[in-house]
Amino acid sequence: MKAGTLLASRFFRRDAYPDSAAVFWTKFTYPFWFTDLLSSLDSLSRLGFDRQETGIKQALAWFVAKQRSSGVWELKMVRGADKALTLWLSLAICRVMKSFCD
């Protein structure tokens, strides 16, 4: 649980490694390949973390703010050329959101 708490506390912050930047939290791959907000929230939800925890709350709010009026998310994809990736990514976000609401 300590590792999960540490992970959630680092959202939107630059990592200690010289080749990383805070912007990597909001660049996505699907299926999950790198550590980003979505893959992290997916793991934390499976570990039973609460959506009211500060970092998780901020990350969920970020996704809510980025949702399009059509209901999908068109986010920066780092990897993948499939035209349906936006839909797969949106499905993964919906699953994470639902898991934190159960």
Q: How confident is the model at residue 69 (pLDDT cuts 50, 70, 90)?
A: very high
Q: Locate 8 and state its tokens.
A: 């959630």
pLDDT over threshold 80, residue 15: no
Calpha distance 80→71 (Å, rounded): 21
DSSP character at residue 67: -
pLDDT given at position 31: 85
Mean pLDDT of the chain: 89
Calpha distance 21→25 (Å, rounded): 8
pLDDT given at position 59: 97
Q: Locate 74 and state its tokens.
A: 């068109």
